[in-house]
Amino acid sequence: MIIYVIFILLILTIFAWTMLPSKILKITIGSVLTLALTGATISLTAVLHKHYGMQQITTTSEQKIYSVAGEESPAGILVISKLGKEDSKHLVMVYKNEKTGSAEPHFVPNQKNITNSIKKESSYRQANVKDATLVSKETRWRWKDDQSKRWFDFGQDGELVKQTNTVTVPKDSWLVLTNNEMEKLQSLLSKVDGSAMKEMSKLSKEEQAKMMVKMVRSELNK
């Protein structure tokens, strides 16, 4: 609504200063309208640059995620890739959203909206947890009240301020691998002799996962 108000005030101000017959009326009405136009313009500027009448609202969600390898591997696997050599805050990560679903890449930047993509951070951590999870924390601009929205809204409601996505995986039973390491994994597993695999099969699934994680990490670090 503020855009229409400014437009109307602008027309009235021009009319007052140019068309009114009396000098006193021109000065009186023209000054009042000029002040009103200035105030409306300042208010619009405050909304655009300072988010006047708005507040930041943060929401948090959490969900379980599942290994790229599914049930085929005793150890969970998360595949990561960096967008830049030194960028550890904008990782593309591959995992499953559902246990029986397909592995998909997540947090791929939208090339058509780079500004929003930069505001979205994605990282991982390894911790003493049982399940792998994704915690998403999102902060957006929202109007404080309906009156502010009615006067000043023209698309700013819901504007993204920041989004952080943190994947947490069990440090002893999950592997975090790059694309290159993932390609090497099959080769590493093929070198494991049959007797070792037989001994591993006697262990619980949790123990198998821990053994596999130690073995793969040891081989990759050579």
Clarify whether residues 112 and 80 are in a common domain. Answer: yes
Provide the phi-psi class of 70: left if phi over 0, else alpha when psi is between -120 and 50, else beta: left
Confidence bin at 200 (pLDDT 50/70/90): low
| pLDDT over 80 at 186, yes or no | no
Confidence (pTM) = 0.81
pLDDT at 177: 94
Clarify whether residues 77 and 40 are in a common domain. Answer: no
Clarify whether residues 83 and 153 are in a common domain. Answer: yes
Clarify whether residues 42 and 83 are in a common domain. Answer: no
Provide the phi-psi class of 51: left if phi over 0, else alpha when psi is between -120 and 50, else beta: left
Question: Distance between CA 49 and CA 181 in Å, rounded?
Answer: 46
Structural domain of residue 27, as residue ranges? 2-50
Clarify whether residues 44 and 65 are in a common domain. Answer: no
Clarify whether residues 11 and 93 are in a common domain. Answer: no
Q: Region 28-54: what's the mean pLDDT?
A: 93
pLDDT at 139: 98
The four Cα atoms 40, 45, 50, 52 give a dihedral, to 10 degrees, of: 20
Residue 100 CB-half CA count within 13 A: 0
Which of 36-40, 191-195, 212-216, 217-221 shows the lowest per-residue confidence on average (mean pLDDT)?
191-195
Contacts of 184 (CB under 8 A, 6+ apart): 220
Q: Region 138-150: what's the mean pLDDT?
A: 94
Clarify whether residues 72 and 160 are in a common domain. Answer: yes
Tell me whether residue 199 is in a domain.
no
Q: Region 116-145: what's the mean pLDDT?
A: 96
Tell me whether residue 6 is in a domain.
yes
DSSP 105-142: EE----TT-HHHHHHEEEEEEEES-SS-EEEEEEEEEE
Q: What is the mean pLDDT of the chain?
A: 89
| pLDDT over 60 at 143, yes or no | yes
Contacts of 193 (CB under 8 A, 6+ apart): none
Sign of dihedral through CA atoms 92, 93, 96, 101?
positive
Question: Distance between CA 75 and CA 57 in Å, rounded?
Answer: 38
- Domain count of the chain? 2
Angle between helices 2-19 and 23-50 (to 10 degrees): 160
